[in-house]
Amino acid sequence: MNRAQAYGDGLFETMRIHRGLILHPEEHYFRLMSGMRILRMQIPSSWSPEGWLQALELDKLDRSLDYRLRLTVWRKGKLGYAPEPESGVDWAVEASALDGIGYPMPVNRPLLGLFQEHRKNSGLLANLKTTSAVLYVLAAGFSREQGVDDVLLLNPENQVIEAGKSNVMLLQGDSLITPPLSSGALKGVMREVVIGLSSKLGLTVREEAFSPFTLQQSDELWLTNALHGVSAVRQFRKTEFGCAKAELMQALVQERAETAQFQ
């Protein structure tokens, strides 16, 4: 048993591998480094922007396939809450082949539900992808029971913060609205990418909290994550949504992914 299993004393990155390369490597790298610093983990000296790729052993993968690659990092040391000084880290890499090459085109059109049994608190730890993921496990189980593809998660103020597997964005006219990180939202890699590309579609980004009722006033409802890029929700309860701008954004995301590698 390691500390990730015993206490959730770890974090992970889930990445899409395309033609043997990580898509959006810079965003994944700096999120991993930031998370390790927040958790006060000792970062291996070899993990420079180029050096960390050697730990992933991407050369073992078939370049003709796309993969879901998960890197899990946990603190070394004996069991007991208090970590040992300068204990270092261990890590594991797991790869599984994905259907299709590149991000889905046309975009996925999931059905969306609402998970209200438990709330996610705000705070700096809420922005990290840690191995303490019980809330997401329960949300995924609820999604399956309800026959939907994903569910919205709420904070104690009943504000939408994210979905069980994705960040959330509302399209209202030319405004793209997404919950702020301060509300408890995960610091998603694809969230950051889409925000950076929004001006190319003439969209203005607003980071603000909203309730589930706000969804009814939206033209499109996007879910964003590193594996699927942008998905356009087909229906939430009785409200149906479009997908035209989501398709355009997905094309921009794919174009960026194939050109934005570490120089």
The pLDDT value recorded for residue 47 is 93
The pLDDT value recorded for residue 81 is 93
* DSSP for 157-193, written as a single string: TS-EEEESSSEEEEEETTEEEE--GGGT----HHHHH
Residue percentage of the chain with pLDDT more than 90: 89
The pLDDT value recorded for residue 257 is 85
Residue 125 has pLDDT above 90, yes or no: yes
The pLDDT value recorded for residue 263 is 43
**What does the pLDDT average to over 146-166?**
97
Per-residue pLDDT of 7-60, as tens digits, reads 999 999 999 999 899 999 999 999 999 999 999 999 999 999 888 988 898 999
Residue 3 has pLDDT above 50, yes or no: yes
Residue 1: pLDDT band (50, 70, 90) is: confident
Report, at the CATH architecture level, how domain 111-259 is classified: Alpha-Beta Barrel (3.20)
**What does the pLDDT average to over 229-246?**
97
Q: Are 44 and 89 in contact (CB under 8 A)?
A: yes
Q: Are 149 and 143 in contact (CB under 8 A)?
A: yes
Residue 241 has pLDDT above 90, yes or no: yes
* Domain ranges for the chain: 3-97, 111-259
The pLDDT value recorded for residue 261 is 55
| 189-197 helix and 244-259 helix, angle to the nearest 10 degrees | 100
Residue 61 has pLDDT above 90, yes or no: yes
Residue 144: pLDDT band (50, 70, 90) is: very high
Residue 151: pLDDT band (50, 70, 90) is: very high
Q: CA nearest 223: which of 243, 207, 238, 237?
A: 243
CA distances from 216 to 168, 172, 210, 246 (A): 14, 10, 11, 17
Mean pLDDT estimate for the chain: 94
| Residue 164, both tokens | 């069980």
Residue 82 has pLDDT above 90, yes or no: yes
Fold agreement (3-97, 111-259): no
Report, at the CATH architecture level, how domain 3-97 is classified: 2-Layer Sandwich (3.30)
